[in-house]
Structure 1
Amino acid sequence: MAGWPWWLQVALVFVAARLVSAAIFMAAAIHQGANPWFPPAPDYWNFITIWDGRWYTEAADNGYPSELPVDQNGVVKENAWAFYALFPFLARGLSAITGLGTLQALTAIAMVAGLGAALVIFRLFGEFAGRRTAMWGVVFVSTFPVSPILQVPYAESLNLLLLAAALLLVVRRHYLMAIPVVLLMCLSRPTGVPFAAMLGLLFLRRLWLRFRPPPGSPTSPGTSARELVALAVLGLVTCMGALAWPTIAWAVTGDPTAYTRTETAWRGHDLVPFKPWFDTGRMLFGPVLGVLAPFVFAGLFVLLMTSKPVRALGTELRLWCASYMGYLLLFLHPQTSTFRMLLPLFPLALGAALLSRSKAYRGTVVVMFVLLQIVWVVWLWAWAQLPGGGDYPP
């Protein structure tokens, strides 16, 4: 395969990984019992369309409510405003053109976008590593424990494609060309805020290097006034894009907090920055260790970001990973869906590939990832009602 075109190699890697995930889904589906969506032991196509796929179908078929649904206490109930519009509206368009059902259209878009994301990720990784190592980075992303999400009707694959494309354009310093990509990304999933934070930090660094160049480098490359202006424009547009969906929800419902109230409907309490991490820490580790757990987690992440393999990722990718993790620490309510939300940290897959060139190491990582896919699908994707009702979401 070494002499084949790069795009064919990447496509084969991604398709092979998705076939492995499909086998895991089908094996789990055989053992699926009673659930809220269909009879026990469903086929593959029914099995992959559960959970949030039904919410995206609701948004595509019926749009978004003009009034927020509330319970008898005035608390907002779960509704479609938690699911950004780009993915379901693309599915609506594809359904109108082809006659496919909404769930089938959502699944088709997710699969195609996942393949596109793998291709773009290879080009992005190629900016920092050789072809073989970049390919191993794509293998790691394609087999990551939550990578089955790239072939189900969720918006993760579309967001991953747009995020990787935006990062590639930023790395190549095509800031103005990145604007339409970033705006679409902001309408696919809530990654606009950390992306804007990354651009702000990058702008400050470029500004610092312009006026304080490193010793022996009086003219630091890439710090011209033109590039600084273009980067600032991209940052401002990203800020507006990050606020676009909450603003649309406000305009349609008349409630300025429509989006945040909808998001918190899944967690059962108001959004308080950082607090959910300490609540979860105390629940898992007790009143003392639970308070320390978030600090330990943050410290370990800092050590990871300062390690030699990760430092090789370049400024933009490291700033993205740091900004996105900061966003999760600030706003996320950690629970079983957290594993899926780590997917935008995909640049760290290249760091993992750079850690060692040993085939034994890299092969072991892939095997462990596939085994953890089985854990993720059986534990979180398959439905098994908890004693108190419901189930842990994937």
Structure 2
Amino acid sequence: MARWPWWTQVAGLYIAARLVSACIFMAAALHQGVNPWFPAKPDYWNFINIWDARWYAEALQTGYPVLLPTDGAGTVQENTWAFYPLFPILGRVLSGLTGTGPAWSLTAIAMVSGLGAALVAYRIFRHRASHRTALWGTVFLATFPVAAVLQVPYAESLNLLLLGSALLLVMERRYLWAMPVVVLMCLSRPTGVPFAAMMGLLFLYRLWQRFTEQRLKTQQPAKPDLATQHVPTQHRDGVAVHSNAQLWSLGGLTAVSGISALLWPAIAWAVTGDPGAYTKTETAWRGDDLVPFKPWFDAGIMLFGPNLGVLAPFVFVAAFTLLMMSRPVVALGTELRLWCCCYMGYLLVFLHPQTSTFRMLLPLFPLALSAALLSRSRAYRGAVVVMFFLLQIVWIVWLWAWAQLPGGGDYPP
């Protein structure tokens, strides 16, 4: 494959990873017993069209309710407002063009988007590493324990494609081109808030770079030595300083990101007349109201007891901070590191940690390159891939396949 074009190499490796995941799905389906959706031992296509795939299919077919469904006490119940509209809209368009059902259309979009996300991820990684290392980083992404979700009718693959495209355009300073991509990304999954936070911090950082550069320029002697003359187009860290036009474009993208992050909750408000329609729907799966940070402490106490459990979130934050300061992660550059920090911060503030948390770590995909940068050893890199595939088996058998718990229901993937 070394003589093939880069996109052929990436596509070949990604498709191979998805075939392995398909084999794991089919093997798990042979052991699937009684479940809420279909008879035991379903075929592959029925097996991957469960869980949230049914919600996306419902959004495709019936849209979103004007009146929020509530129980006798007036508490909002689970409904399609929790599922962002871009994925089902594209599925409806494809179904209309091809005459196929929702399951096939959504699956096709997910699979094509996953391939596109892998190609974009390689382009991002190539900015920070050699071809071979970037290719290994893409392989790590394609084989990640929850990467099997990229081939099922979930919006993860579409969101990953749009998120990666937005990050690539930001890294290449094509801020105006990134604006429509960010709007679409914010309508695919709830990644708009951390992206807007990243853009705001990045804008302030670039503004500070420009300010310090201008200050150093004014402090230069009238006739500097040519050997030590300061280059005004470069900052002290070796990164080219933004021009006025680039700063204006970056500021515009920051504003667009902030507005787009609130677009779907605003649409839910406008349609239902309830300003909290989106958040009430999201918390319907939790069973309680949204309180920032609290679910992490609750999960810590449940797992480690009343004493160590309170400390667990702080230990986690400290460990993640050390990870962000490690050499392989520093090599990612400002934009990717800032994205990882903002996204993890978003999860800490708003996420209710449970089994779906593993799936929600996919937007941290730049760390796949850090894992590849950790060592050039083929034994290490091959062992990571094997470990990831083994963990895919665990994820699919434990979480995707349905096995009713003693108290009813099952852990969601």
Common fold by TM > 0.5: yes
Partner of 1:120: 120
Partner of 1:250: 269
Q: CA deviation at 1:217?
A: 5.5
Partner of 1:140: 140
1:56 & 1:130 partners in 2: Cα distance? 39
Aligned residues: 394
Contact 2:328 2:371 in 1 (8 A): yes
1:215-226 residue pairs with structure 2 within 5 A?
218-219=232-233, 220=235, 221-226=240-245
Residue type at the aligned position of 1:187: L
1:377 aligns with 2:383: no
1:89 & 1:200 partners in 2: Cα distance? 30
Q: TM-score, normalised by structure 2?
A: 0.94
> 1:201-253 CA distances to partner (integer Å, 9 max, x unpaired)?
10111011111139856443232221111111001001111100000000010
Partner of 2:175: 175
> 1:175-217 CA distances to partner (integer Å, 9 max, x unpaired)?
0110010000000000000000001110111011111139856
Partner of 1:338: 357
2:100 & 2:326 partners in 1: Cα distance? 48
1:286 aligns with 2:312: no
1:1-394 residue pairs with structure 2 within 5 A?
1-213=1-213, 218-219=232-233, 220=235, 221-394=240-413
1:248 & 1:383 partners in 2: Cα distance? 34
1:73 & 1:390 partners in 2: Cα distance? 23
Deviates more, 1:18-27 or 1:223-232: 223-232
Contact 2:76 2:284 in 1 (8 A): yes
> 1:22-44 CA distances to partner (integer Å, 9 max, x unpaired)?
00000100000000000000000
Percent identity, aligned pairs only, is: 72
> 1:147-166 CA distances to partner (integer Å, 9 max, x unpaired)?
00000000000000000000
Contact 2:196 2:254 in 1 (8 A): yes
Unaligned runs of 5+ in 2: 217-229
Residue type at the aligned position of 1:358: S
Residue type at the aligned position of 2:329: V
SS at match of 1:104: helix
Residue type at the aligned position of 1:185: M
> 1:332-369 CA distances to partner (integer Å, 9 max, x unpaired)?
00000000000000000000000000000000000000
> 1:123-157 CA distances to partner (integer Å, 9 max, x unpaired)?
11100001000000000000000000000000000
1:218 & 1:205 partners in 2: Cα distance? 17
Contact 2:209 2:241 in 1 (8 A): no
1:261 & 1:232 partners in 2: Cα distance? 32
Unaligned runs of 5+ in 1: none
1:346 & 1:217 partners in 2: Cα distance? 35
2:311 & 2:37 partners in 1: Cα distance? 40
Residue type at the aligned position of 2:67: E
SS at match of 2:323: helix
SS at match of 1:337: helix
Q: CA deviation at 1:266?
A: 0.5
SS at match of 1:286: helix
SS at match of 1:145: coil
1:104 & 1:285 partners in 2: Cα distance? 43
